[in-house]
Amino acid sequence: MSLCGASFVSYISTVFVPNGPLFIDLLYKSPYNTIYIVNYAHYMRGKREGKMKTFFTVLFITAAVVILVCIIFRGETPDKPKKNIKSDNPAILPYGKTGVLAHRSGAGLAPENTLLAFQNMIKNRDKFELEGFEFDLHLTKDGQIIVLHDDTLDRTSDSEEYFGKSGVLPCDLSFEELRKLNMGEKFVLPDGSIPYEGLRGDKIPDSLRIIRLSDVFDFLAPYGDYTFTVDIKNDGDIGYRTADELHRLLVKYNMLSRTAVASFHKSNIRYLDEKYPDITRSATIHEVVRFYFQSFFHIPYKQGHFKFKYLHIPYKDYFFNLGTTRLINYAHSYDIAVQYWTINDPKIMKRLEKNGADAVFTDLPDLAYETLNDIK
């Protein structure tokens, strides 16, 4: 056999034949094995091509199913909103009344989750007619619950400058250490200006320093029975300790009936269910997905089957339209309020109002109020 011929068969054997070098060894020992090896190579190549055809067939069918799912589940359902709903859940509002909830205390109008933002909401409460507030919770090193969304302080404050590094975690600092930061440092107004940039030391007003959950309750106490949606951001042991302190504060301020607790960490929800059944909570991501399909096929359950009393969900998420009348009606039939985040688009606000949504979380409570009350 020529060198070229041997190289060719070596290539064929290596690519198409398992243990190719073994077959090459056989080839050199007995030239009569050549025909067998080449035929075997053709057989293996055909087998591989068959697998490839099967793979692409499965891929095509999967793509077709995904497209079909998108068409079915992203569309609106023909259901009509149920009116005159009788419910023990105070968050389920009469049809035609969609409440406004200040997302991160109205993050589009003032530095998010600061006392200044809460002050702005109260100052303009006649214009906004808020149902309540949404904000996020972290636990400090000394066990204080603070109001903060991100896992780090970088996006909203001057922490990188103050601490000389990025990625500082609030759980590694005491409340007093965190109070030295300017939480309005990076807030940008619609005109592009940054009004609180550069404030340092004593020039930082208290309204722009980090605040505790207890500070929020103390400030809002004289102004009415607002509702609260709070999200526990920490997980693990810190998440559990946050839940413990949260429950203590809700009891102390008599806020259990006015507060819905959420968390993206399933372990936190499990802990709340087991230790604090008196806390009202919203559905986890997994519960939302199951609930969506249960509502789509209208699967009946006994009252009290669901452990949550709130659905805090986006309007549309990937393949699914979560803003349908069918889902809202189904939730209301089980005494579950449906509230949507984060809605800053007037068209979506009106669509959700038409479909019977109970409330929208928004960064722009002024826009939401004008839109939902048809104020031009």
Q: What is the pLDDT of residues 266-289, one digit of tens each?
A: 999 999 999 999 999 999 999 999
pLDDT band at 174, cuts 50/70/90? Answer: very high
pLDDT beyond 70 at 30: no
Instruction: Calculate the average pLDDT of the chain.
Output: 87
pLDDT score of 155: 97
Say if strands 259-262 and 227-232 run parallel, antiparallel, or are unpaired.
Answer: parallel
> How many angstroms separate the Cα of 278 from the Cα of each of 229, 262, 263?
15, 14, 16
Mark residue 340 as left, alpha or beta (left: phi above 0; alpha: psi -120 to 50; beta: remaining): beta
pLDDT tens sequence across 298-340? 999 998 899 999 999 999 876 789 999 999 999 999 999 999 9
pLDDT tens sequence across 345-374? 999 999 999 999 999 999 999 999 999 998
Residues in the chain, total: 376
Identify which of 118, 293, 331 has the alpha carbon closest to the alpha carbon of residue 340. Answer: 331
Q: What is the pTM of this model?
A: 0.80
The whole-number average pLDDT for the span 240-267 is 97
Identify which of 100, 177, 140, 184 has the alpha carbon closest to the alpha carbon of residue 373. Answer: 100
The token pair that represents 371 in the structure block = 């839109």
Backbone angles phi, psi at 101, to 5 degrees: -115, 125
The token pair that represents 348 in the structure block = 């979506």
